[in-house]
Chains A and B, each alone.
Chain A
Amino acid sequence: MNQEKIVMIGNGMAGVRSVEEILNLRPDHFHITIFGTEKYPNYNRIQLSKVLQGDTTISDITLNDWSWYEENGIQLYPGETVVRVDTEAKLVQTSKERIVPYDKLIMATGSLPFIVPIPGADKEGVTAFRDIQDCEKMMSVSKEYKKAAVIGGGLLGLEAARGLLNLGMDVDVIHLSCTLMERQLDETAGSLLQKELEKQGVNFFMNKQTAEIFGDERVEGIRFSDGETMKTDLVVMAAGIRPNVSLAQESGIDVNRGILVNDYMETNIPDVYAVGECAEHRDVVYGLVAPLYEQGKVMAARICGEPAAGYAGSVLSTQLKVSGVDVFSVGEITEDEETKTIKMFDDWKGMYKKIVIRDGKMTGAVLFGDTSEGNKLLRLINKKADVEEYMGAAEEAAGNMAAAMADGELVCGCSGVTKGTITTAIRQDGLTTFEEVKACTSASRSCGGCKPLVVDLLAHTLGDQFEKADQKEPVCGCTTLSRDEVVESIRKKGLTHTREVMNVLGWQTEDGCSKCRPALNYYLGMINPMEYEDEKESRFVNERMHANINKDGTYSVVPRMYGGVTSAKDLRKIADVAEKYDVPLIKVTGGQRIDLFGVKKEDLPDVWADLDMPSGYAYGKTLRTVKTCVGEHFCRFGTQDSISMGIAMEKKFERIGTPHKVKMAVSACPRNCAESGIKDIGVVGVEGAWEIYVGGNGGTHLRAADLLCKVKTNDEVLEMIGAFMQYYREDAVYLERTSVWVERVGLDHIKEVLADKAARDAFNTRIDEALSVTKEPWKEIIENKKIRKELYETELVSLTK
């Protein structure tokens, strides 16, 4: 069969989305070829902001992976640019001299970042923020340099600024106007936003025009038009984008600001279409994905010969993707003589809402601080609703909004998913959780802004079934059961083995996965510490090997150093071992201990034998370190013996299995030199008493610990900690740090439970029982030939030639 040939120029979000639409309508009908300058498959450009902010990684933002192209018979040429189009002969020519004929041509070339044309803009250290390469460049510069300047205080610039801040740089934002994001926000919202970002650490130069970037080869600083200068090591240009139209222009296609298209995305040349940021429709060039996806849908219908209404333009809505800042804007945001507004402003809490009304109809809105109404406003403004409808709807519960929507109305603008698609999927595929809806329909896959509405739709569609279903998060993809259901069944049915749990509870995989196996192994051991035999094969590598695996497959060894206190004898042993086994790196850790990195797997048991010290469990879901400060014996401010307290805590709780790692610290006064305020359990000595803090975390999601209680004696400290630890062991989800757990169940609730002396005693009896059966793992391994052979030896086999 001679298939009709579609050639697409541009492998980006709008283009590939259109191809998906075409494949939906007429699978197998076309032979599709895609050229993309970038060497990646289609990825989610929107998420680059999150990559820069460290919330996700480049490998996680692929939208269509290589196999998708393969499976759909699409010929993809990544890293290849189309340099010439011959609309007479109907063919394209590429940077690699390839010539491909087409029946229909789609231009989806996107935009180019606007590089402000000033002297020095070509220096090393100047970058845009548009693609993966730019992102990688910023990340690598941040490793070597300290100061960054972002030109442009719009959406893109601010997201870049927040990312650079997370990368540890000092960030200045330079903005031409006196309000941030002035195209989406009014002055009030703009200045609230500026204050919030200043609080987060961004510095602003408002009302400033950049005149020159100076430096030798590399940028060293910026000179403004008023003569003032500033120093910087990196300049990010986020001053806007320009439709990428040069190829179209050279090929005789009509171009104004963008490639001119009609309501069906057709250009002036027959069989040539344009879609996405490169296209100009009714005088508007769009720069957000929701309208581009609408364009793609209309174009796909046209190409497939399906009847469909033309594209009539879109109302734009914006959300800033910066954590801790909730901003939403839609439609018209400025007032004039003919408009009226509804406004609410709470300067104290930093909340602001404005709705713009023209002739009684809603035409725009700005929200700051609380954006939960965003979806509702977007919907009403899109259909130019009467303000009365909003006033009435304001009193309705959120669920009613989900009910009120028509089936054809869009829920997820980014992926173009309607209410009807979602409710049908929920009913037909029996979906019960937000994650399932997301996986099945792609709603909420891009910016996540519509999540609340999707959850409302689930509630609305499922009715009574919802509460039960949605509350629970399954243990993993192998089951629909939640942690609580699994733990309850283990207790009730007396299950004793991971295989048994999976069989009895109807696991969907025969042998579980890397998520549920370690979790089940933990729950079984927690419930029945005396009888349960730990399953090595269900342990993550570090806990199975009792050492941290390094990137090259060697291991690191951290011996126990109670309370961070060591001795000349131990230091000498460590030094001897390091020499004997050629240890490539000896390092003092952030937990007040010494780490020997790069030990070969085969050497581990011998290293431990020579050290003759207990394992520091630097790898385990258990008590890690107890950091201590010097305390009363040496420090002039010390009120308590923090070292002895810390050592007692470490000796008592070492080796106990916990849902996630547990870190402790003891300081002898509120100066807190051992950083007790960011530990799972932090103890602070004050005159005549100890304060106990819980739920602190110094890791990915920094959280200050909460004061649990104040006690007088060392024994009371141990009693309180024992009870807290056991409650955490019994109640938390596997891999849930205390910081998350405390937040989930509530500090007041924990205080209440632990206030009861009888409850504390019961918890302590149970944790003591669990502690009584723990064994020093390194010693056990050294003495057990079978384990040594199974886990640590490498079989060397020689070839007979």
Chain B
Amino acid sequence: MEKTIEKVKAASFQEMPEKIGQTIRIGSVEIALFKLADGHVRAIENRCPHKGGVLAQGIVSGEHVFCPMHDWRINTTDGKAAAPDHGCVKTYDVKIEGDDVYIFV
């Protein structure tokens, strides 16, 4: 099956708080959107690979987010859990145009 990628507007860059995740629901997928301390914006699936914790509510440090459920550390850039844990979440490309934050889903 052909998978089409769509570009959707998800947030206003100015209004995004730093280091506090936002929850975006697009159809049936939930995405956690983060503005990191360095101003980069990252979008990952809002489901921890461990037991489905809501990553948007985790503590953000550098490019990592600590899952609020059992403290797994997830890299928001490549979606991978840090050792000794295992697993990864889907990551989404993000583009910022002016004040508009777009996600590619």
Contact = CB atoms under 8 A, between A and B. Distances in A.
Interface of A: 62, 65-67, 509-514, 517-518, 536-541, 544-545, 549, 551-553, 601, 789-791, 793-800
Nearest to B53: A553
A794 B22 CA distance: 7
A793 B6 CA distance: 23
- Candidate in A62, A537, A539, A545 with the most chain B CB atoms within 10 angstroms: A537
A791 B68 CA distance: 14
Interface of B: 6, 8-11, 15, 17-20, 22-27, 30, 37, 51-54, 57-62, 66, 68-69, 71, 73, 83-84, 86, 105
Given A66-B86, A544-B57, A791-B20, A514 B66 contact: yes
Nearest to B23: A794
A790 B22 contact: yes
Contacts of B26: 797-799
A797 B28 CA distance: 10
Contact of B71 (A62, A509, A512, A514): A514
Contacts of B10: 795, 797
A482 to B, nearest CB: 21
B59 to A, nearest CB: 5
A417 B39 CA distance: 47
Contact of A540 (B8, B30, B59): B59
B22 A536 contact: no
Contacts of B17: 537, 790
7 contacts: A512-B61, A518-B59, A540-B68, A791-B20, A797-B8, A798-B27, A799-B105
Contacts of A789: 15
A797 B24 contact: yes
Contact of A511 (B52, B57, B62, B105): B62
Contacts of A796: 25
A193 to B, nearest CB: 36
A454 B57 CA distance: 40
Contacts of A512: 61
8 closest Cβ contacts across the A-B interface? A514-B66, A541-B68, A537-B19, A553-B54, A511-B61, A794-B23, A541-B57, A511-B62
A39 B4 CA distance: 38
B86 A65 contact: yes
A539 B20 CA distance: 10
A544 B54 CA distance: 14
A514 B25 contact: no
A549 B57 contact: yes
B105 to A, nearest CB: 8
Contact of A601 (B23, B58, B61, B105): B23
Given A513-B61, A549-B57, A797-B10, 13 more contacts: A66-B86, A67-B86, A511-B62, A513-B59, A537-B17, A537-B20, A544-B20, A544-B57, A545-B57, A553-B57, A797-B8, A797-B25, A799-B6
A541 B71 CA distance: 11
A343 B92 CA distance: 71
B62 A514 contact: no
A65 B59 contact: no
A799 B10 CA distance: 11
A206 B49 CA distance: 49
B69 A551 contact: yes
Nearest to A541: B68
Contacts of A65: 83-84, 86
B25 A795 contact: yes
Nearest to B62: A511
B11 A795 contact: yes
A517 B66 CA distance: 11
A790 B17 CA distance: 7
Contacts of B84: 62, 65
B57 A67 contact: no
A547 B99 CA distance: 32
Given A537-B18, A795-B10, A795-B24, A549 B68 contact: yes
A620 B53 CA distance: 20
B46 to A, nearest CB: 8
Nearest to B22: A795
A534 to B, nearest CB: 13
Contacts of A549: 54, 57, 68-69
Contacts of A790: 17, 20, 22
Contact of A794 (B9, B25, B37, B68): B25
B60 to A, nearest CB: 7
A88 B52 CA distance: 51
Contacts of A798: 26-27
A800 B17 CA distance: 27
A793 B20 CA distance: 12
A747 B70 CA distance: 34
